[in-house]
Amino acid sequence: METTFASRMRRRTQRKPLNKGDIIFNVFNYSVMILLVVVTLYPFLHVLAVSLNDPYDAMRGGITVYPRKFTLVNYIETLNYSQIPWATLITLLRTFFGTLTSLVSTAMVAYVISRRDFFARKFVTILFIITMYVGGGLIPDYMLMRHLGLLNNFLVYILPPLINPFNVIVMRSYMDSNIPDELPESAMVDGASDFLIFRKIVMPLCKPVLAVIGLFIAVGQWNSWFDTYIYCSGNPNLTTLQFELQKILTSAAASSTIDYYSTHDPHRAMKVTPESLRMAMTIIVTLPIILVYPFIQRYFVHGLTIGAIKG
């Protein structure tokens, strides 16, 4: 109570004297903030505008944040390009299954090491924490995937990134401070098994932290491209949206798309340009993130306080 009163007092006392320096500072501060907003949003709006504009008209330049000659042809042609619907499916599958398995695994490990009475608690905790600081590196990882037969295999999207120790620590801190020790103990007295306690008591109490970590895992799955590049580039059936965009970006894939059209369907090759295809792809890949963003936004303040408990 006292702090809220004090801060209210502070606000009142601060609001009164608005001298010249304050006014200049406010003008400066608001200008910086508006500049930040413009610099952040302009690129997205510009890319959106170009992707919705006639490709040949766009080449004249001068488009800012709204399309000059509206058309959906870029999107239609992108989605018609054989790889894209398939890449969308694979991306959705890896995001869904990757997030689900990762979340369940993270929660299980976090719960077990949050149990003070578990006999191997320290061993398991240290085992996970060490991997936060040292890893095999690019080539040993690659060799492992090869030996396990995970090259050009869908499971390479799920198994290697299964558990991030950082998420385990965050979730454990949340459990430590939100689940009183007496709760599992009393359930145990009633004859509930540890697994039942985890499922029926701990999980429901952990919904907020599960939401935050789940969203971060999902964003990570949706956004990753390098695993496709290094482990799955030999199998076009395992391509992902980010990887397709990366191909367009770093190689001449955009023009090869046009080449693909010009050999298979010369009429269609004329409709789009590499640049307009790239802009449409960029929006397709970004859109889901922007759509789930409000949810992340709502939860992540919570996520921050969870992290803050850790210190």
Partner 1 sequence: MKATPLVDDKVLVPVAKRSWKKIIKKQRYLLLMVITFVIWILIFRYVPLWGWIMAFQNYKPWLPITQQEWVGLRFFKEIFQDPHFYRAMKNTLGMSFLGLVVGFPLPIILALLLNELRALRFKRTVQTISYLPYFVSWVVVASIVFRMLSPTEGIVNQILLSLKLIDRPIAFMGEPKYFWWIVVLATVWKDLGWNSIIFLAAISGIDPQLYEAATIDGAGRFRKMWHVTLPGISPTIIVLLVMSIGHLINIGFERQFLLRTGPTRDVAEVIDLYILTYGLGAGRFSFGTAAGVFKSVVSLALLTFANWVSKKTTGYRVI
Per CB under 8 A, which of residues 231..270 are in contact with partner 1? 242, 245-246, 249-250
Q: How far is the CB of 271 from partner 1 (least distance, A)?
A: 19
Contact 202, 179 (CB under 8 A): yes
Select 40 or 263, whichever has its Cβ closest to partner 1.
40
User: Exactly one of 85, 140, 149, 180 binds partner 1 (CB under 8 A); which one?
Assistant: 140
Determine if 282 is a binding residue for partner 1 (CB under 8 A).
yes
Determine if 142 is a binding residue for partner 1 (CB under 8 A).
yes
DSSP string, the chain: -HHHHHHHHHHHHHHS---HHHHHHHHHHHHHHHHHHHHHHHHHHHHHHHHTB-HHHHTT----SS-SSB--HHHHHHHHSTHHHHHHHHHHHHHHHHHHHHHHHHHHHHHHHH-TT-TTHHHHHHHHHHTTT----HHHHHHHHHHTT-TT-GGGGTSTTS--HHHHHHHHHHHHHHS-THHHHHHHHTT--HHHHIIIIIHHHTHHHHHHHHHHHHHHHHH--HHHHHHSTT-GGG--HHHHHHHHHHSSHHHHHHHHHHHH-HHHHTT--HHHHHHHHHHHHHHHHHHHHHHHHHHHHHHHHHHHHH-
- Nearest Cα to Cα of residue 61 among 262, 271, 253, 273: 273
Select 39 or 204, whichever has its Cβ closest to partner 1.
39
Select 79 or 120, whichever has its Cβ closest to partner 1.
120
Kindly report the length of the chain. 311
Q: How far is the CB of 200 from partner 1 (least distance, A)?
A: 13
Determine if 108 is a binding residue for partner 1 (CB under 8 A).
yes
Determine if 81 is a binding residue for partner 1 (CB under 8 A).
no
Select 71 or 105, whichever has its Cβ closest to partner 1.
105
User: Exactly one of 157, 174, 225, 231 binds partner 1 (CB under 8 A); which one?
Assistant: 225
Determine if 56 is a binding residue for partner 1 (CB under 8 A).
no
Q: Which stretch binds partner 1 (CB under 8 A): 68-76, 80-88, 107-115, 257-265?
A: 107-115
Determine if 189 is a binding residue for partner 1 (CB under 8 A).
no
User: Exactly one of 52, 94, 111, 272 binds partner 1 (CB under 8 A); which one?
Assistant: 111
Determine if 124 is a binding residue for partner 1 (CB under 8 A).
yes
Q: How many residues bind partner 1, per CB under 8 A? A: 95
Determine if 309 is a binding residue for partner 1 (CB under 8 A).
no
Determine if 274 is a binding residue for partner 1 (CB under 8 A).
no
Site string for partner 1, 144-173 (x = CB under 8 A): x-x-x----------xx-xx----------
